[in-house]
């Protein structure tokens, strides 16, 4: 016996001790034993076990002898279970009388020995012998002043014990023996307890009084938290069906944990999970609501339980995989505003493609890009700073991304595109001061015009132009060389160019003032 528990088996027939947890049964016929367990707090639980010794459960339910000798009012009631219907009941007797053949229960019998053979449709059979003792000739009637009534009970009620009260009996030594058994109902908590009071006296009179307790489970399970559950979880990118299945399992466990049924310790959670619809919000976030209830084995249902799952997305996009957006370009690559616009569009494309979010595949940007914020350093060089934020469809924003475009002047001056600084003229048209000065001024104009198209927009030009440097070759022919030193004010790079004025003598001599150089001689004279 386990400490703190009391055990009571019924009926006591065949048991070595009906108050042990595991008594030994010595039976020769099929029987159903009922166990009642009571703890130290008075809480009770019931269970039953059927022991079969044959193919049938065949036993005497109730037997009463004649009230007085010769009355022929004895009767016997038989319990059967098992077998294949229909059952055929065949009664025989050695020394009795009053049998009605074909009936299971017999009434109006005399004392004697009777045998019942039960045969089912498959040919299986079982037999039982019933002894009805001889009634005494003395007073054979019991007078009852109180018989315990049948009672309707809830499965949580306690079955109290009361005995019949017998008075005015002519024979002494009245003894009451109690036999109790249980008839199963349509569910575990619906059953009938039959309490049979078997009464005898010293004269050999016998009688019985039956009391029945109709126990039923009409109590619905109760959910102690009020029947409402709301869970909020962060979206983690997992498959929504897996997430919902895990959540439903969690809801079922929690409802069962906080549910209570005084009659049934194993109710089940029933829900409309298959019919409920996930209502999306943004990305993979949204909400899911189900209704359900606890149902015990007898079909009693608890109040409706509403469970709601809200999946939220408060995690900003991950931009850790995005490259640095700072960039330095050569101003020779194009117009500063065009370069800045191209850089900005590239930044947008990069950020939209490199951002990651487990719950959203779509992103958009906010930025403060404005070319009016370009800070000019020299010519078209300078810097422009813009800030960006990547947002997902749930409006979660990444950290602020700051990017700077630097436009620098890396290119050396290439005056070759400015034009030819050399000039060749005929000495016939040459006027040293005017021609050389005009040529020099033209070179300066070419160089300044070329500078306007560069990154810096202007050049610092120095030169060594000096008419005294004109070198005469012959006559008025000669050369004048000028070195132009061109400095880019942005990069500080200086490039030197040389321009040469070449004056040539391309005229033949003229003999206009000379006389006739021809002479005619006579070959016969002495002058030749």
d(CA 417, CA 58): 125
d(CA 53, CA 143): 39
Residue 431 is predicted with a pLDDT of 79
Residue 181 is predicted with a pLDDT of 93
Residue 371 is predicted with a pLDDT of 94
Q: Which of 253, 264, 252, 270 is nearest to 296 (CA)?
A: 264
Per-block mean pLDDT, blocks of 10 residues, the chain (528 long): 79 88 79 86 81 71 80 89 86 91 92 90 83 71 87 89 79 84 90 92 82 92 82 83 85 86 87 82 89 91 90 92 92 86 95 92 93 88 94 94 90 71 82 87 85 69 90 84 86 84 75 60 60
Q: Which of 373, 442, 378 is nearest to 403 (CA)?
A: 373
Sign of CA dihedral 434, 439, 441, 445: positive
DSSP string, 414-433: -GGGT----EEEETTT--HH
Long-range pairs for 255-260 at CB < 8 Å and ≥24 separation? 255/223, 255/229, 255/292, 255/294, 255/305, 255/307, 256/294, 258/223, 258/224, 258/225, 259/221, 259/222, 259/223, 259/224, 259/294, 259/302, 260/221, 260/222, 260/223, 260/224
Q: Which of 257, 258, 252 is nearest to 226 (CA)?
A: 258
Q: Is the pTM value of this prediction over 0.85?
A: no
Residue 237 is predicted with a pLDDT of 76
Phi, psi of 252 (to 5 degrees): -60, -45
List beta partners, residue 194: 181, 212
Residue 460 is predicted with a pLDDT of 84
d(CA 30, CA 26): 11
Residue 489 is predicted with a pLDDT of 79
Residue 497 is predicted with a pLDDT of 86
Residue 421 is predicted with a pLDDT of 87
Please list, in sequence order, all residues whose beta carbon lies within 8 angstroms of the beta carbon of residue 145, skipping any fewer than 6 positions away: 165, 166, 167
Q: Which of 507, 433, 506 is nearest to 470 (CA)?
A: 433
Can you read off the two tokens belonging to residue 214?
């109709």
Sign of CA dihedral 294, 299, 304, 308: positive
């Amino acid at each position: 016996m386990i400490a703190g528990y009391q055990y009571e088996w019924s009926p006591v027939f065949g048991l070595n001790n009906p108050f042990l947890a595991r008594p030994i049964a010595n039976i020769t016929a099929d029987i159903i034993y009922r166990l009642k367990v009571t703890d130290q707090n008075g809480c009770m639980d019931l269970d039953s076990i059927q022991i079969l010794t044959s193919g049938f459960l065949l036993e005497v339910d109730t037997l009463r002898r004649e009230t007085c000798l010769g009355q022929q009012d004895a009767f016997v009631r038989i319990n059967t279970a098992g077998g294949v219907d229909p059952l055929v009941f065949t009664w025989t007797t050695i020394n009795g009388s009053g049998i009605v053949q074909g009936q299971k229960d017999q009434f109006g019998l005399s004392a004697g020995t009777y045998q019942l053979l039960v045969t089912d449709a498959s040919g299986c059979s079982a037999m039982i012998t019933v002894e009805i003792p001889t009634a005494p000739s003395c007073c054979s009637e019991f007078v009852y002043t109180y018989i315990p009534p049948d009672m309707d009970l809830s499965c949580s009620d306690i079955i109290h014990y009361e005995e019949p009260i017998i008075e005015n009996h002519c024979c002494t030594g009245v003894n009451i023996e109690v036999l109790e058994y249980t008839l199963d109902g349509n569910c575990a908590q619906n059953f009938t307890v039959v309490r049979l009071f078997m009464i005898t006296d010293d004269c050999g009179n016998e009688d019985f009084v039956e009391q029945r307790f109709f126990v039923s489970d009409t109590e619905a399970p109760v959910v102690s938290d009020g029947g409402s559950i709301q869970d909020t979880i962060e979206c983690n990118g997992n498959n929504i069906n897996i997430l919902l299945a895990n959540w439903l399992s969690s809801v079922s466990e929690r409802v069962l944990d906080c549910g209570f049924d005084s009659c049934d310790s194993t109710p089940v959670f029933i829900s409309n999970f298959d019919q409920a619809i996930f209502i999306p919000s943004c990305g993979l976030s949204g909400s899911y609501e189900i209704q359900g209830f606890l149902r015990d084995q007898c079909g009693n249902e608890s109040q409706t339980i509403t469970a709601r799952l809200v999946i939220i997305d408060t995690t900003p996009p991950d931009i850790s995989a995005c490259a640095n957006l700072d960039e330095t370009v050569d101003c020779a690559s194009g117009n500063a505003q065009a370069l800045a616009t191209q850089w900005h569009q590239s930044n947008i494309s990069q950020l939209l493609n490199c951002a990651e979010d487990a719950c959203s595949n779509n992103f958009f940007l906010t930025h403060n890009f404005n070319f009016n914020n370009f800070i000019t350093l020299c010519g078209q060089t300078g810097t422009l700073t813009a800030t960006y934020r990547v947002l997902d469809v749930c409006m979660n924003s990444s950290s602020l991304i700051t990017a700077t475009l630097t436009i620098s002047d890396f290119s050396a001056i290439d005056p070759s595109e400015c034009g030819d600084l050399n000039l060749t003229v005929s000495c016939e048209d040459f006027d040293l001061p005017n021609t050389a000065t005009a040529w020099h001024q033209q070179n300066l104009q070419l160089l300044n015009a070329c500078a306007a198209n560069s990154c810096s927009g202007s050049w610092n030009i120095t030169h060594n132009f000096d008419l005294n440097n004109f070198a005469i070759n012959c006559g008025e022919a000669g050369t004048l060389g000028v070195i132009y030193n061109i400095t880019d004010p942005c990069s500080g790079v200086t490039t030197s160019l040389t321009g040469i004025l070449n004056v040539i003598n391309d005229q033949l001599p003229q003999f206009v003032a000379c006389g006739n150089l021809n002479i005619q001689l006579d070959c016969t004279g002495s002058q030749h």
